[in-house]
Amino acid sequence: GWALGLSGRQMAETLRSFPGVPHRLEKVAVINGVEYINDSKGTNPEAAIKALLAFDKPIVLIAGGSRKGNMDFSELAHKIKEKVRELILVGETAEEIKAAVEEVGFHRATIVNNLEEGVKLAAALARPGEIVLLSPACASFDFFRNFEHRGEVFKELVHRLA
């Protein structure tokens, strides 16, 4: 910014008005006091951990998807126990993630058949002031063409709740 001759005020205004990157901690809507966040680009456990660390409010997390190489969910399981109030799992990795979180003493995980069921359950479980976060920690190829398609479907499902 400085190198381009921009003032501090101009840079701050640009940052304030920057909408963010689609599918990366993208704010979708606030419905009944619940904030819905699309982090469909979070296609591995490390990305999902970073998404969880971005929030201080209680989280209803929607995670799971298709396997992408050798995936270890143990570190994510510890972060879920620390940051998540309810966990909703979908896709071929759902059972594996559920086992990982139960191993660390987290017992509020529900497996659903698809993202639509997951969004509906999240809306029913979430309380005002909380966050519903889609951060799958997995690839999207079990139900979707790619993470963008998954994120667009999530946004459409959230908007249908309003």
pLDDT score, position 145: 84
- For residue 141, pLDDT over 80 is answered with no
The contacts of residue 25 (CB under 8 Å, 6+ apart) are 37, 38, 39, 51, 54
- pLDDT tens across 1-30, in order? 666 676 777 656 655 554 555 667 999 999
Domain parsing of the chain, residue ranges: 20-161
Would you say domain 20-161 falls under CATH 3.10.180.10? Answer: no
d(CA 130, CA 123): 10
